[in-house]
Amino acid sequence: MLRRAVAGVAVLWGAVTLTFLAVALTGGNQVDSILGPDSATVPGLREQVAAQYGLDRPLVVQYLDRLGSLLTGDLGWSYQRNQPVTRLLADQVLPTLTLAASAAVVGAALAVLLAVATAGRGGLVRRVVSLLEALVVALPPFWLGIVLLSVFSFGLRWFPAFGADGVAGLVLPTVALALPIAGVLAQVARQELEVAEGRPFALSARARGLSERQLLLRHTLRHALLPVTTLSAWAVGALVGGAVLVEQVFSRPGLGRVLVEAVKHRDTPVVTAVVVLAALVFVVTSALADVLYPVIDARLRTEVR
């Protein structure tokens, strides 16, 4: 856990650094982005705003100030909204995390079901399922969201189209995010199941009279869940970023609208905060995956002396 904590700090530092550089090296003047096209009409306004937000200082000093503020838990001040970033994001974080978490659960469950149903099977069913998995992995979630909207909202009218709250409004964006993740996890889980079924412990279990279902539930499924757990930790972090795009498609509340406006106006503190949040989710879920490994596989509970 100590090594994981050190690695997590390195990930967060890298996320902050790359985000700062990406915004800083983008063409255009940041003060102009804050003030808009009418900034030249008021004499001295540009200089006043630059001094207020520290944008008149060298980039190295701005970067170090950003790191220092983040270390103390201060996410900074939004240039565009003129309010603390913490207050700005407070009402938007929960919808995004809810969408990401629901997509992770649905994606993992669907992957395990597909892997169990098709592991060890050949023929047409296996080829069709593998083709569909590869297809959904290759498709961007926001494109899937547009297709789902066209079919199930505009066509069949089963689900609300834009800006809906509640469970009904969560279904389509969850599916759009979950399908690509399920495609990746299903392929990995199926391969692990097939490898585990041919190992000596599986042959021994069959010799003791265990049925294939008992073998699956007691032994081989646990082996398949280890890599699925590892990839699920990565997937949750990726889903937070993916949720930002999907929220725009479905006009859902969340970090999506905030981030788009922040990037448009080069609101560095807001952009940095959203990226750090996604990186933090990845770090936390990775640490939880490490904790779950001994629970899933009893062999990892024994210390090697």
Residues 63 and 100 in one domain: no
Residues 69 and 179 in one domain: no
Whether 56 is in a domain gets the answer yes
Q: Final residue of a domain: which of 74, 100, 128?
A: 74
Residues 134 and 276 in one domain: yes
Type of residue found at 14: G
- Which of 120, 217, 138, 126 is closest to 180 using CA atoms? 138
Q: Residue 91 burial (CB < 10 Å; 0-12/13-18/19+)? A: exposed
Residues 153 and 59 in one domain: no
Residues 70 and 118 in one domain: no
Q: Which residues of the chain have pLDDT under 70?
A: 27-30, 32-45, 119-123, 163-165, 197-198, 200-203, 205-206, 209-219, 237, 293-305
Residues 16 and 162 in one domain: no
Q: Supply the pLDDT for residue 43.
A: 65
**Tens-place pLDDT, residues 142-185:** 888 888 888 888 887 888 777 666 777 788 888 888 888 888 88
Residues 169 and 279 in one domain: yes
Q: Supply the pLDDT for residue 304.
A: 44
Whether 303 is in a domain gets the answer no
Residues 140 and 40 in one domain: no
Q: Residue 268 burial (CB < 10 Å; 0-12/13-18/19+)? A: buried
Domain count for the chain: 2
Q: Which domain holds residue 159?
A: 91-296
Q: Residue 208 burial (CB < 10 Å; 0-12/13-18/19+)? A: exposed
Whether 302 is in a domain gets the answer no
Residues 136 and 201 in one domain: yes
Spatial neighbors of 262 by CB under 8 A, at least 6 apart, are 78, 80, 270, 271, 274
Q: Supply the pLDDT for residue 102.
A: 86
Residues 44 and 167 in one domain: no
Whether 156 is in a domain gets the answer yes
Residues 102 and 175 in one domain: yes
CA distances from 145 to 12, 92, 94, 245, 264 (A): 30, 20, 20, 10, 23
Residues 235 and 148 in one domain: yes
* Gap between the terminal Cα atoms of the chain: 19
Confirm if 247 and 255 have CB atoms less than 8 A apart: yes
Q: Residue 296 burial (CB < 10 Å; 0-12/13-18/19+)? A: middle
